[in-house]
Structure 1
Amino acid sequence: MAPFSLVTASVSWLAKTFSVFSSKSVLPAAYLNPVRCLTSQTSAPPKKPLNGYLRFIMQQKPVLTRHNPEIKSVDIVRKIAQQWRTLSAEQKRPFEEASLRAREQFKMDLQRYNAQLTPTQIQQQALEKRQRMAKRKALRKKRKNIVCFLQELNNLGKPKRPRSSFNIYMSEHFEEARGATTPEKMQSLMEDWRNLLIHQKQVYAQLAEDDKIRYKNEMKSWEDHMMEIGREDLIREQTLLNNKRTAAKTSVAKTAKAKVVKKVTATGKSKTTRKTAKSSSVKKVRTIRKI
């Protein structure tokens, strides 16, 4: 009877467990997120269709990758872009027509998708869209401010930052570098730089050190000029901190010098007063003796 009772107890425990997990009151209503309901109750929103150019890339990329496995994905896309630019309007038409058909299908799918949404889900989507638009707007504004700031620095004549030894080497040998595109030239120059001997690299290292000295001197003159015209907001924080420390040291030195001068002056006056008093007392003694 023991095994039978054990089986009965196990069945009853499984039944209780199933009843607990099947109950609707397992989680409170506060844990139900509208976004999660959107993905569970309705199908996913339709994806925007590709344009003709992207359809051409999707068609040509596997072919080029299969025939050129050693080429990087970026270079393959670049080659496909060159091919697209050389195509005629008649050759591009099938891809563009397919894009138009997919766009029409996307509109119908989007209408069906929006029709099955609840008001809460629609509000949630609108909120997320506003948040995305606000984020993009803030990012565009930040980029615009950075561009304007750099343009202002350029107009004010801010010195260019010092170049590294490799940058100097690259600027000197870029024209005769191997490769048809800029990335290919950069890659070949990097390989050549790694293969240079130490004494060959030392020449460019010395040029880089000279460029650092040039930058330091030009920045000092430029920041002094910015101080004169009242543009302290463009001066580096470390320079401002060093200027404050120098001003504080100068103030302390002036104060100490003033105290020393005052002390010396007071000492001189006291000596003069004692001499005057001594001379007057001597005169009085002489006068008394004469009398």
Structure 2
Amino acid sequence: MATIADPAPTKKSRNSRKALKEKNEIVETPLSPVSSAKEKSVKSFEKDLLEMQTMLENMKIEKDKTEELLKEKDEILRKKEEELENRDVEQEKLKVELKKLQKMREFKPNMTFACGQSLTQAEQEKMNKKKKKDCPETKRPSTSYILWCKEQWNEVKKENPEADFKETTNILGAKWKSLSAEEKKPYEEKYQVDKEAYLQVIAKEKREKEAMKLLEGDQKQKTAMELLDQYLNFVQEAEQDNKKKNKKQKDPLKPKHPVSAFLVYANERRAALREENKKVVEVAKMTGEEWKNLSDKQKAPYEEVAKKNKEIYLQAMEEYKRTKEEEDMSQKKEEEELLKLRKQEALQLLKKKEKTDNLIKKKKETKKKKNENVDPNKPKKPASSFFLFSKDARKNLAEERPGIHNSTVTTLISVKWKELGEEEKQIYNEKAAKLMEAYKKELEDYNNKNAAITSG
């Protein structure tokens, strides 16, 4: 392959070099003074614009701040105004209360209160408790069973020294059941004697308490009546003083009394005489003298005006009296209706109270009858399977969750009982059945004994 030869470098002419030099000289030549001044002015204007913009932004920020401050100041001023208004209202209320207190201070009752009233209820209860402790007669008598237990306790303890309290009580209960009626009779008689003495003491105390209450009530009524009398006297004296100081306030609806004929004439003449710059006393004297000198014909028109005014006044007074009477009648009716309503309410309350008292009495009587009829020796019904389960479950729950509430315990027990299987329930059912059989046997024995006693 034949290689292509590179072209030989050509020499630049002198003319071309000169042209390039001239161009460079043209480029390097400095700007004219007019163009440089324009550029400077543009740059300075831009700087001024930027400064002005920043100034405007700062002014806006300051304006917002000042507006916020003004709003805050307005709110503070409004709050202060409200506080001042509230203070004024409170001051007025305090003034009213002060006036009331001053009036109360003026009233000084002269009373001598009873000594019994000085004791409070708490102090009286303490005194009663101390009396009960000191006096053995006020204590409830022990039953025949307890009297027998007191006698037999030491013997049972000697026979069974290792037995605890529960076991000893069970032994005593079994022995008491085995006793005959004749053996129980002395203890029952002693109990009856103690009971009668106790009831007599309590009845006496109740009677004394009732008497004391009545006495206190009478004393309170007397003191209240005395206070009322003193207060009423004080009010009457105060009213008399006020009457002397202040005149009665006139009713604005009441028609005014008509003017006489002389005053009608005087009112006409007063204006003319006042124009002459005369004094009030001189005007009164002159009108009086002129009225005396007037003839009957000259006085007639003024008298007619006065007469008409009087007729109008009398008619208005009749209407005023009629309306006043109607208002009084309506007030009386309203008061009577209110009294009737209050009486009805009081009667309803009394009826409710009587009903509740009767119900309470009946309940107490039924309870007493039941307690009297129930024999303490009669065997008690055994617990059901659920109650037997609840005893065990309660113990477990108390150990697992100490301090748990009774209501939650009962709910948990009922839930657990429902969740129990038939096999687990069968255990408690068998226990309950055994207890029921034992109870039936005891009942039969008890009934047989009673039948033997009644037949014997």
Q: TM-score, normalised by structure 1?
A: 0.34
Which has the higher Rg, Structure 1 or Structure 2? 2
Q: Which has the higher contact order (CA 8 A, sep 6+)?
A: 1
Q: TM-score, normalised by structure 2?
A: 0.23
